[in-house]
Structure 1
Amino acid sequence: MGAQWKAKPKEAAANARGKIFGKLVKEIMIAARNGADPDMNPKLRLAVHQAKKASMPKDTLERAIKKGAGLSGEVVNYERTLYEGFAPHRVPVIVECLTDNLNRTVAEVRVLFRKGQLGTSGSVSWDFDHLGMIEAEPASADADAELAAIEAGAQDFEADDEGATLFYTDPTDLDAVCKALPEFGFTVQSANLGYKAKNPVGLSGAELEEVEAFLEALDNHDDVQNVYVGLQAN
């Protein structure tokens, strides 16, 4: 049963795409509460940018904005909620959800945490920094990430093995840094507020696989928007 998805790559890709769109639609609807014009609403502008990068159909995008802004006659109220706790092997986890039924989500998140430990508010968030996170790629070979971070107003940056750079900002500077980075040779791929672990737990082998399976189950839940984890693969 566990390997069936490998035999159906197109179906798996479609399901993954559907989940991405579902999460983006919720973000757009939440952001659109503060206005349907992306030029006047920084949070909506970032959400729309993410949706376009994911190749969301234009009609899906416009419908989500109208719903969120209350222009379609439909009333859908999503509530943002955080859950904190530990994955197996005391790995700290913050789970961000958007839900239209808080009681259902709480019950289902409790079930998902059975192999770990669901904590109270503040039980692990003290061990994370709340930051703006911008993933960007150099538009040219001479783009300098350190110079771009300084000039655009980012707090810090780190490059990954595939050539992209993750810029960290103060939460209030996220939109301004997004706008500034292209001036210094970087194309923004995604931008959001999130949590960065201060003291990630190092794991390897079977322990790492166990934690990854736990995190994948969380991420696959329909109400889960983001999973932030203090994990470092050894």
Structure 2
Amino acid sequence: MSGHSKWSTIKRKKGLADAKRGAAFTRLSREIVMAAREGGGDSDTNFRLRLAIEKARAGNMPKDNIDRSIKRGTGEDKNGVVYEEVTYEGYAPKGVAVLMECMTENKNRTVAEIRHGLDKYGGSLGANGSVAWQFERIAFFAFDESKMDFDSAFELAIEAGADDVTQDNGMIEIVGPVTSFKNIGDALRAANVDPEDAGLRMEPKQEMDLSVDDTLQVLRVVENLEELDDVQNIYHNMGISDEAMAALEAE
């Protein structure tokens, strides 16, 4: 995001998403399911799963819930709801491109809710491939600078295959190609650094610059979509200035 760290926006998103305890548990559970499905149920070898479990524990999710989510992801639990990952593409107001990663047991319901959420504010749902070309998937890590100084973090990350390391507002952020995710995660773990956030996310290849008022209008639409139960992540190609972020926090 232009003008400020990605973590500033991510932290705000997490606070909004976790405002409702039930909704937070649902998102955390689905994240564990996805991680276990992709990389297996062993958190020692599946970094994404280990991170998802740590987030769940930080959110006070009961151990039984965590265990059931892992089994659901690995297929050991045949009685749980079968979720399907699906990505929708479209445009928010002002022509801002949006990608919405969802996990659902009912795609018809999910797409109807997303279409309504966009149409209501002047956006539109697009066909597959309509905006995805404007993004690339990257590995992302963020942790407090108290856990490791910048020079050490830079050296560790670059050796592990990262493309860039930045420091802003007390946070160190590491980005790299998808293929570097495990190596960077393993290196941080070996250095006893637990990230506040880590994962694979979609990064816009080029950002749109809007006025503060237009930025706030689009962000409200994005945040409304994020409140939908089936939505796990939303990515957009709008740059957010310091002025826009300050105005948002002041609301």
CA offset at residue 175 of structure 1? 2.1
Shift of 1:226: 0.3
Query: Is residue 31 of structure 2 the alignment partner of residue 23 of structure 1?
Result: no
Does the CA contact (< 8 Å) of 1:133 and 1:191 recur in 2? yes
3-state SS of 1:202 partner: coil
**Alignment partner, residue 5 of structure 1:** none
Cα offset for 1:183? 5.0
Match of 1:160 among 138, 156, 168: 168
CA-CA distance at 1:110 after TM superposition: 1.0
Cα gap change, 1:140 to 1:107, in 2 (>3 Å): closer
Shift of 1:118: 1.5
Residue deviations 1:68-116 (CA, integer Å, cap 9, x gap): 3333441321111111121111111111100000111111111111121
Give the counterpart letter for 1:160 in structure 2: D
CA distance 1:192–1:92, change in 2 (3 Å): same
- Counterpart residue identity of residue 27, structure 2: K
Which residue of the partner structure matches residue 173 of structure 1? 180
- Superposed counterparts of 1:49-198, under 5 Å: 49-114=54-119, 115-140=122-147, 142-144=149-151, 145-161=153-169, 163-183=170-190, 186-198=193-205
Q: For 1:229, which of 217, 228, 236 is the aligned residue? A: 236
Deviations 1:146-173 (A, max 9, x none): 3232133212233332x11221122132
Gaps of at least 5 residues in structure 2 are 1-15, 242-251
How is 1:39-50 mapped onto 2 (pairs within 5 angstroms)? 39-50=44-55
What is the DSSP-based 3-state SS (H/G/I as helix, E as strand, rest coil) of the residue aligned with 1:218? helix
CA distance in 2: counterparts of 1:61 and 1:206, whole angstroms: 41
With 202-211 and 12-21 compared, the bigger mean Cα shift is at 12-21
RCO higher in structure (CA 8 A, sep ≥6) = 2
* Residue identity opposite 2:164 in structure 1: D
How many angstroms does 1:142 deviate by? Answer: 3.5
Higher mean C-alpha displacement, 150-159 vs 31-40: 31-40
* Counterparts in 2 of 1:81 and 1:185: CA distance versus 1, 3 Å: same
AA in 2 matched with 1:178 = G
SS state at 1:122 partner: coil
The residue aligned with 1:8 is none
Rounded to whole Å, the distance in 2 between the matches of 1:87 and 1:201 is: 12
Q: Percent identity?
A: 39
Instruction: Tell me how far apart the structure 1 counterparts of residues 101 and 63 of structure 2 sit (CA, whole Å).
Output: 26
Q: Which 10-residue stretch deviates more, 13-22 or 104-113?
A: 13-22
Question: After alignment, is 172-181 or 145-154 more displaced?
Answer: 145-154
Shift of 1:131: 0.8
How far, CA to CA, are the matches of 1:174 and 1:167 in structure 2? 10
More strand by percentage: 1
Alignment gaps of 5+ in structure 1:
1-11
Q: Which residue in 1 is equivalent to 2:42?
A: 37
Structure 1 residues 126-160: Cα deviation after superposition (integer angstroms, max 9, x where no partner): 11121111122224574424323213321223333
> Structure 2: which amino acid aligns with 1:189?
E
TM-score scaled to structure 2, two decimals?
A: 0.78
